[in-house]
Structure formats: C-alpha cells, structure tokens
Amino acid sequence: NWTGRRDHVLLTMALQTGLRVSEIINIRCQDVVTGTGAHIVCEGKGRKQRATPLRQELCRLIQVWLNERKGLPTDPLFPTIRGSKLSRDAVEHIVRRHICAATKSCQSLTGKRVSPHVLRHSTAMELLQHGVDQTVIALWLGHESVETTQVYVHADLRIKEQALARVQAPDSHPGRYRPDDALLAFLEAL
C-alpha cells in the first residue's frame, strides 16, 4: 500500500542518512538529487543547510517513490495521505508501528525502545565502527562541534576493545625489583 511504501523509503533514509526527525519531515521533493553526486539537502539546527550523500540503493527507492507520488518540487517528500508534511509524532508512530511488526520475526527487538533518534544514533555508530573520523561524523550529523559526537565513542565498548587490541602491552615482568651490582655498589659508597 501507499503508506507502507512511503514508510519503507522514510525508514531506509533515516537509517542510512542519520537525519533528525525535523530534517526528514521538512525535506521537499526538490531537495533530493538522485543522479551523479546523489545527495539530500536538508536544513538542520540553526537553519544551517547541509548535504548528505545517498547510496545508490536508496536513490533507486527514492526515485520509485518520487515517480509514484507525483508531487510538486516544493511538496514534502514524505506527505500524509492528505498531502501535508508529516509531524514529529507521526514519524515516531511510524517507527513504533514497524518495530512492533519487526519484533514478530526478530525476537531480539522485544522490549527495546527504538525511536527515530535511535536510528540516527545507529547511523553514527555504523560510521564510527567502519573507521570514519569523528570530525566527518560530526559534519555528517550536522553537529556544531566534535564534542557532541564524543557520546558515540563512549557508547561503544567494541571500539574500545578493538583499540586496546591494537596497542601492545608494555614489556614488563611482574615480580620484585632487583637492582644490578653497579647500582648497589654506588648506593653502598654513599
């Protein structure tokens, strides 16, 4: 159905781009470039515009969606059935509804609280786990500073374990210290 296809594109975009809910609901059809250099232009916090790149699979989904919805360039990319832009609550409801459905086939989701912000967090963690520099992640997510991105570094124990594995332990031998003969002779001469 129409809303299911809209939701599929919306959720895929949210997970692959890490856009904020406010950014997703304000995307217009004209803000999407699906050709060479595919990206979405969105307005983030502080009315700052940024471009977020798109993978080819997502471009194909968006192109099919744009062809189906046949809206004006200034129309919202993800409209309600009546054609207006979705609200923040509507997006949260969409995420909850689809997580509830997914729980039936993926038991590990049971009891987990998945929100649009969790999808954004997942994008950041995915980038971090694939070695993307924190500065790039901060730019990607539209953070004012790299410090905001630090929360993702602290959140992932796996990254810490991998970092620890890269560092060699100091060459130390446990036990009691025994000074050599020259040091003992020097100390006795004092």
Q: How many CA atoms lie within 13 A of 174 on its CB side?
A: 1
How far the first Cα of the chain sits from its last, in Å, is 92
| Residues identified as active-site | 20, 45, 117, 120, 143, 152
* Residue 113 identity (one-letter amino acid): R
Alpha helices in the chain (DSSP H): 2-17, 21-25, 56-69, 88-103, 116-129, 134-141, 146-155, 157-166, 181-189
| Residues listed for the chain | 190
